[in-house]
Amino acid sequence: MVTINKERFLSTLSCPTAGWLLAHTPPVKLSRYDHFLMEQELEVHKKAQALYPQGILVGGNDISAEKHTEHLIRNPNTQVLFEAVFMVYEGITRADIIKRQRVGWWLYKIKSSVNNKDEYLDDLAYTAMIALQAGLKIIGCSLLLLSPNYRLGLPVKDLFQEISLTLETFQKAKEFWLEYDRVLHILQRTTKPHPELRWECQNCLYFPACMGQGIENSIFDLPQLNHTKFCHFREQDIQTIDQIPEDFILTHTQQRIREAIKEGRPYLDRNGLTKALEQISFPLYFLDFETVSTAIPLYPDITPRARVPFQYSLHVVGGEGEILTHHEYLADPRRDCRKELVEHLIRHCDTQGTILCFNDYEKQVIQECSEIYPERSTLLEALLERLINLSTIMKQHYYHPGFHGSYSIKDVLAVLVPSMSYEDMEVSNGRDAMSVFADMATGKLDKIQEREYRNHLLKYCKLDTLAMVKIWEQLVGMVRETDLQFQSK
Ligand code: SF4
């Protein structure tokens, strides 16, 4: 018998096929970053539980946990329960915190985020729906979010901000209950509901094996695809970019992508690319940062979830095929090294030459450092004036059908420099890097592991900037090749 839990219920509401697949197929393997997020959630839950020393942890997710909850609730001396379990008609939920009031219970959902999100209300409403139907008298519902005012060393109560959502939760729980039988029926089917193209497909983990199966150049590969345009496509049964009619109005970037796919060759705006590359002055600095963001700040004077830069790689290039030097910085995870990082960066970037990055992230990090260290703002502002985003240049002047709508450094590299790859690297993306650094900062790695992972971090970040160097060389090569073609005509 398939049971309903929050993930299955909410997923079925947004797409019956996705909900069914979630309930009937093995769970996907969790990444290092997924584990990192789960640990962060757990840490925040423990902090929230510390707000109620009289609280009792129920735990578990079976019938005995439900019975234990029932027993505790009946006892008038029980004031607060953590992870109380409620069940009704094949549905189960665990309430993060319930707190006894004079005439009922207050339900709390803990989220390790500073900002409220729509999905949190759904989460709260699902729990409220099951608990209400199981007979719990709920008189109020709140989210416990992280407070942006918290700093390391302050009392635990200052870590949280409470957002009361009682009316909204009751309303949503009512709407959910009207859908409950339908969801249960879908989940208990023995066959998968027939999938249909929908807006949710674009971020669905089942897409490659579901609506995306056998499809090249899906409409979801179009950057900045909005819902209105998507609905037009769906009405006309358009699933791939090459099916989009010529007279259908697209943005410039989308048009270029359609053109490249229909013609089966890359789009190149030679004049535009030449001009853009001419803006660049030597020596060239290829810069990439890694940052860490944690629920509980790692260091004093940092807000929860603040972005903390801890590493950079910088390749300095004198011309094509001429790497002059490579600089790198990796912080000591046991202390806040942002100031030190800034000092090294200013020195390593010198005062002349374009600094190239591959997204807006580097700009944002330097801007944030400039605000934090006003005494260095003049020098950091000077770096910002030299900063150019290479991926923006590409987006404006070049597209290869092999990018499949993505200008991420990995997707671009795979097409333009297939001999280089991030495969088999222990740390192979920014999320891994963040997780590893947070593990170091919180003492989860021993000395030998830490030394090994520092090398992995350095190797990964260095590859990012070397990849940029190679991509830039490819772009320069494209301009030169077309120049030669023109001359030979
Ligand atoms: S790809 Fe689309 S139809 Fe298939 S499961 Fe995902 S959201 Fe549903």
Q: Are residues 254 and 146 in the same domain?
A: no
At residue 412, the pLDDT reads: 96
Residue 198 is assigned to a structural domain of this protein: no
What range does the domain containing 236 cover? 215-265
- The string of DSSP codes covering 96-137 is EEEEE-SSSEEEEEE-S-SS--HHHHHHHHHHHHHHHHTT--
Beta-bridged to residue 95, according to DSSP, are 84
Cα distance between the two ends of the chain: 72
Quick check: 99 pLDDT over 70? yes
pLDDT band at 28 (very low <50, low <70, confident <90, very high): confident
pTM of the predicted model over 0.85: yes
Ligand 1 pocket member 204 (CB < 6 A):
yes
Q: Are residues 340 and 457 in the same domain?
A: yes
ω into 223 cis (within 30 of 0): no
pLDDT band at 487 (very low <50, low <70, confident <90, very high): low
Q: Are residues 284 and 260 in the same domain?
A: no
Q: Are residues 259 and 116 in the same domain?
A: no
At residue 175, the pLDDT reads: 98
The CA R_g of the chain, rounded to the nearest whole Å, is 27
Residue 202 is assigned to a structural domain of this protein: no
pLDDT band at 486 (very low <50, low <70, confident <90, very high): low
Q: Which residue has the tokens 């707190």?
A: 99
Q: Which two tokens stand for residue 332?
A: 């000591």
Ligand 1 pocket member 192 (CB < 6 A):
no
Q: Are residues 243 and 380 in the same domain?
A: no
Q: Are residues 314 and 236 in the same domain?
A: no
Residue 205 is assigned to a structural domain of this protein: no
CA of 194 to the centre of ligand 1 (A): 9
Quick check: 370 pLDDT over 70? yes
pLDDT band at 481 (very low <50, low <70, confident <90, very high): confident
Q: Can you tell me the distance from the alpha carbon of 150 to that of 302, in angstroms, rounded to the nearest whole number?
A: 8
CATH assignment at residue 132? 3.90.320
CATH assignment at residue 300? 3.30.420
At residue 252, the pLDDT reads: 87
Q: Are residues 18 and 53 in the same domain?
A: yes
Q: Which residue has the tokens 């190149």?
A: 268
Q: What is the pLDDT of residues 316-348, one digit of tens each?
A: 999 999 999 999 999 999 999 999 999 999 999
Q: Which residue has the tokens 């901000």?
A: 161
Q: Are residues 255 and 279 in the same domain?
A: no
pLDDT band at 53 (very low <50, low <70, confident <90, very high): very high
Report how far apart, in Å, the C-alpha atoms of 285 and of each of 90, 320, 397 are: 59, 13, 21
Ligand 1 pocket member 95 (CB < 6 A):
no
CA of 195 to the centre of ligand 1 (A): 6
Ligand 1 pocket member 401 (CB < 6 A):
no
Q: What is the pLDDT of residues 444-454, one digit of tens each?
A: 999 999 999 99
Residue 244 is assigned to a structural domain of this protein: yes
125, 169 Cβ separation under 8 angstroms: yes
Question: Percentage of the chain with pLDDT > 90?
Answer: 92
131, 93 Cβ separation under 8 angstroms: yes
> Mean pLDDT over all residues of the chain?
95
Ligand 1 pocket member 220 (CB < 6 A):
no
Q: Are residues 225 and 317 in the same domain?
A: no
Stated length of the chain: 489
- The string of DSSP codes covering 145-173 is EE-TT--TTS-GGGGEEEEE-HHHHHHHH
Residue 279: how many other CB atoms lie within 10 Å: 9
Rounded mean pLDDT, 302-314: 97
374, 405 Cβ separation under 8 angstroms: no
Q: How does DSSP classify residue 240?
A: B
Q: For residue 198, which atom of ligand 1 is closest to its CA?
A: 2
Q: Are residues 258 and 283 in the same domain?
A: no
Ligand 1 pocket member 210 (CB < 6 A):
yes
Q: For atom 7 of ligand 1, which residue has the closest CA? A: 201
pLDDT band at 488 (very low <50, low <70, confident <90, very high): low
CA of 199 to the centre of ligand 1 (A): 9
At residue 2, the pLDDT reads: 87
Q: Are residues 333 and 451 in the same domain?
A: yes
Residue 197 is assigned to a structural domain of this protein: no
CA angle 331, 367, 428 (to 5 degrees): 45
* Residue at which a domain ends, from 265, 282, 298: 265
Residue 192 is assigned to a structural domain of this protein: no
Rounded mean pLDDT, 90-114: 97
Residue 124 is assigned to a structural domain of this protein: yes
CA of 184 to the centre of ligand 1 (A): 18
Q: Are residues 427 and 328 in the same domain?
A: yes
pLDDT band at 483 (very low <50, low <70, confident <90, very high): low
Q: What is the pLDDT of residues 115-144, one digit of tens each?
A: 999 999 999 999 999 999 999 999 999 999
Ligand 1 pocket member 337 (CB < 6 A):
no
Position 406: which residue type?
Answer: S
Residue 38 is assigned to a structural domain of this protein: yes
Ligand 1 pocket member 294 (CB < 6 A):
no
Quick check: 253 pLDDT over 90? no
Q: Which two tokens stand for residue 258?
A: 């359609």
Number of folded domains that form the chain: 3
